[in-house]
Amino acid sequence: MTTPIVSVRDLKVHFPIRGGVLGRVTDHVRAVDGVSFDLYPGRTVAIVGESGSGKSTTGYAVMGMETPTAGQVLIDGKDRATMTAAEARAVTRRLQIVFQDPASALNPRMRVRDCIAEPLEIHRIGTAASRAARVQELLDLVGLPASALDRLPREFSGGQKQRIVIARALALNPEVIVCDEAVSALDVSIQSQILNLLLALQARLGLAYLFISHDLSVVRHISDEIVVMHRGRVVEAGPTDQLFAATRDPYTQRLLAAVPRPEVRR
């Protein structure tokens, strides 16, 4: 039995609410309140929910961008909370994140070649020549032409910018990519191109995805397992095909019934 690359155990992330003249903590927002799941290499777990459900906060806790109030985030069996600084740094190479809006994720003044090479430079990997070769390879992998190298992000469309972001996320050979609404801001025809790219990269590189989205149709298409969140809690979880075949939770049913479908039913 392989160990999960990411294991989330009864995760809680609470944010304090301060009130009164002294700014005392009067209450807590339970953004994430008892979430558990396992993500195995080469697999996709989707977290689906509406705004405020805690799905992104869960992703941030997995990335180490948010500290758990309680519970654990285990990376390859090791608790993030007890890692040494060196271990934590090593882990940052294994987990990467792609956000919704590629325009704000890219430095507008940096050429594509430098955007993609930056993680390699920060982690002092390779020589200038080997880094340049790696950048070229990454561009290829995400389907961008070599002519993109010396251009600025603003010269690209939204879908191409997201390809650049994905290339950068792949630079350090990660094992996990957290996709936080990574296709939500894209046009329909571009969204399917990026979904296809994500599937192809997973098949080729054995990536695991933590795919955070509000879009049930997209999530059903790309994931192996689904965690449905509502107000910080998991209301239903399970293998994607089983969950869609028979939802048991009333909230999931309501969510599913509300999805507008591109087929005429009247």
Partner 1 sequence: MTTPPVLSVQDLRVEIAGQPVVDGVTFDIAAGETLAVVGESGCGKSMASLGIIRLLPDVARQTTGQVMLEGARIDTLPERRMNGLRGARIGMIFQEPVASLDPLMPVGKQIAEALALDGAVPTAEVQPRMLEMLERVGIDRPELRARQYPFELSGGMCQRIMIAMTMIRRPVLLIADEPTTALDVTIQKQILDLMAKMRHDTGAAVMLITHDMGVVAESADRVAVMYAGRVVETGPVAQVFARPRHPYTTMLLRTIPRLDGTRKVPLPAIPGAVPDIRSWPKGCRFNTRCPLATEQCRSAVPLLEPSGSPGHASACWNRDRIETELAP
Q: Provide, rounded to whole angstroms, the least separation between the CB of residue 83 and partner 1.
A: 33
Strand partners, 213: 48
From residue 20 to residue 59, the character string flagging contacts with partner 1 as x (rule: CB under 8 A) and all else as - is ------------------------------xx--------
Residues 179 and 102: beta-carbon distance below 8 Å: no
Is residue 17 involved in binding partner 1 (CB under 8 A)? no
Tokens representing residue 98 in the block: 């792609």
Tokens representing residue 68 in the block: 């758990």
Amino acid residing at 56: S
Q: Provide, rounded to whole angstroms, the least separation between the CB of residue 26 and partner 1.
A: 19
Q: Residues, the chain, total?
A: 266
Q: Provide, rounded to whole angstroms, the least separation between the CB of residue 82 and partner 1.
A: 36
Q: Provide, rounded to whole angstroms, the least separation between the CB of residue 41 and partner 1.
A: 16
Cβ proximity to partner 1: between 157 and 173 the closer is 157
Closest CA to 49 of 226, 191, 173: 226
What whole-number distance in Å separates Cα of residue 1 and Cα of residue 15?
36
**What SS3 state is found at 50?**
coil
Sheet holding 233-239, edge to edge: 95-98, 176-180, 208-213, 44-48, 225-230, 233-239
What whole-number distance in Å separates Cα of residue 201 and Cα of residue 198?
5
Residues 30 and 38: beta-carbon distance below 8 Å: no
What whole-number distance in Å separates Cα of residue 37 and Cα of residue 155?
40
Residue of the chain from 164, 176, 210, 218 that contacts partner 1 (CB under 8 A):
218
Residue of the chain from 86, 188, 245, 246 that contacts partner 1 (CB under 8 A):
188
Cβ proximity to partner 1: between 75 and 99 the closer is 99
Residue of the chain from 76, 199, 205, 249 that contacts partner 1 (CB under 8 A):
199
Touching partner 1, residues 225-254 (CB under 8 A)? 240-241, 244, 254
Cβ proximity to partner 1: between 124 and 266 the closer is 266
Is residue 204 involved in binding partner 1 (CB under 8 A)? no
Residue of the chain from 32, 222, 227, 235 that contacts partner 1 (CB under 8 A):
222
Residues that bind partner 1 (CB under 8 A): 50-51, 157-160, 187-190, 192-193, 195-196, 199-200, 214, 216-218, 220-222, 224, 240-241, 244, 254-266
